[in-house]
Amino acid sequence: MRYVDFVNPNYQPGETDVVCTFHVEPRGISLKEAAGGVAAESSIGTWTELTTVKPYVQKLAATVFSLEGDTAKIAYPIELFELGNMPNILSSIQGNVFGLRTLENLRLNDIQFPTQLLKSFKGPKYGVDGIRRLLRVYNRPLIGTIIKPKLGLRTTDHAKVAYDAWVGGCDIVKDDENLSSQNFNPFEKRVMATLESRDRAEEETGEKKIYMVNVTAETNEMLRRSQLVLDHNGEYVMVDILTCGFAALQTLREQDMNLVIHAHRAGHGAFTKDPRHGVSMRVVAKAARTVGVDQLHVGTVVGKMFETREEVQENCDAVTQEMAGLKRVLPVASGGLHPALVPALMEFFGLDFAIQAGGGIHGHRDGTVAGAKAMRQAVDATLVGVSLEEHSKEHHELETAMQMWGQIA
């Protein structure tokens, strides 16, 4: 079979097909041949005709069924994949094709998993509704922070900053993506000390508080750390899903621990940022949801991240729209956020999302407690339709935040 033999505009994808949408830029060949090459090299074909192709093999061929502009849609028979094996699925679809010499650029923009494949995975254990029940917060965005500086705080200081954030009004405190078990802040001591701070904050505020500890590590160590979190009455873990890999993520989810899985997307920009080459965040989001994360960073629209409004909306849709009964994943907005941005965030995301602000809380000139109060005040004002400028007249912490990052001189 030649590359062009994998193109059939009359083909209608079946209900069990995996359907992928690619941006394709050929190099020295036609678009039809280039798209056919992607279908061939990610299913049963290669650069030359083969003598080993049997009739039953031909039924496994991927098919390019749509070519519009630089967009190709390809249907893959489900028989090409092992059910319940995300590394296998992604290795097939986004494997060697990205290295083909005949392609100037290639980007996997979207993927649609059939119901049969989706049901072979556990999916989210908690999702949006489970998270809200756990935190007992139902009518507003969740408010969180990341311990800053990213690296450098000793265990005692880490736990103190977490406590300050919680008593100031944060629901959530999480580790940053590169905090693991460094000698100045070893994992076990951090878990115990910070969860003790959580307990004190809950007693003082009467509110549920959450600590997302980063358990990212070699898979067996990640499981051990997750169990340690459980043993100390923790309820959340955070995983850098791309650097530890979907196999490790799936292994953790398969344990079915009573832990919410917060998915950090550290490293995604290496292959999601270029609109012409790589893999879109929407694809990553769908794969992560399928495997079973409960919440995921999706971009911010405002703040310091590069994604456009359209891209962030696509990411949100990927984790919240209907997918064969999988629970909705909670979108997390993080990256350069502060209280003055809250109205814009809530206008875009609505109520079902988490605001994760690091510098926008700890950078408050009056300290972390004041920074957390300012963020909570900004959310409260936006919920009732009061402008932040008006609300800040009677809330000093918000007023200071607006002077630092907003419009008040």
Catalytic residues: 148, 264
Q: Which of these, 169, 141, 201, lies nearest to 395 by C-alpha position?
A: 169
> For tokens 């028989």, what's the residue?
79
Strands 18-26, 278-279: pairing is unpaired
Q: Which of these, 111, 84, 131, lies nearest to 329 by C-alpha position?
A: 131
User: Which tokens sit at 386?
Assistant: 């009061």
Helix (H, G, I), strand (E, B) or coil at 296: strand
User: Which tokens sit at 164?
Assistant: 């300050």
Provide the Cα torsion 225, 141, 151, 274; round to 10°: 100
140/138 Cα distance (integer angstroms): 6
360/234 Cα distance (integer angstroms): 26
- Of the chain, the end-to-end C-alpha distance in Å amounts to 69
User: Which tokens sit at 64?
Assistant: 């390019």
Instruction: Fill in the DSSP letter of residue 7.
Output: B
Q: Residue 349: what residue type? A: F
What would the DSSP string read from start to end of 101-120? Answer: TTEEEEEEEEEE--HHHHTT
Give residue 174's Cα distance to chain centre: 15
User: Which tokens sit at 127?
Assistant: 């999702």
290/124 Cα distance (integer angstroms): 7
